[in-house]
Amino acid sequence: MTSKKQRQHHCPVCTLVGNVRCLKKQHWRPCEIHGRSGHHGDFSVCVKCDGSEKRAEKAERIERQKEKEEQERLRKEEAERKKREEEDAKRAEKEKARKEKHESKDAKKKKEKR
């Protein structure tokens, strides 16, 4: 199986891997950006342009993934914070009810002693 790089350089006219002879026969056009070091075929994109596009796409995908992970992390933190607040509120209510119960018992005991 041929490598990806060979497929990208493959000349669509003479079916050879693109080289100086293909350029002389004008099967390949020099890239406007990269000159003769990056060649456009009649049906293909400059290898260097293609590589830079792929690198840019990969960087964008990585950035989107990081943003998505950050949003997920923030969402989880917010959910945990709300859960802790609810638990603290319930705990405070139970403590308040317990104190009121003990205060009422203490008040009854004081009345009985008098």
pLDDT tens-digit map of 15-64: 666 566 666 676 666 677 777 666 666 556 777 888 889 999 999 999 99
pLDDT greater than 90 at residue 4: no
Contact 28, 14 (CB under 8 A): no
pLDDT at position 36: 65
Would the pTM count as exceeding 0.85? no
**Res. 8: pLDDT tops 60:** no
Sign of CA dihedral 25, 36, 39, 10: positive
**Residue pLDDT, tens place only, 50-107:** 888 999 999 999 999 999 999 999 999 999 999 999 999 999 999 998 888 888 777 7
Query: In residues, how long is the chain?
Result: 114
pLDDT at 60: 98
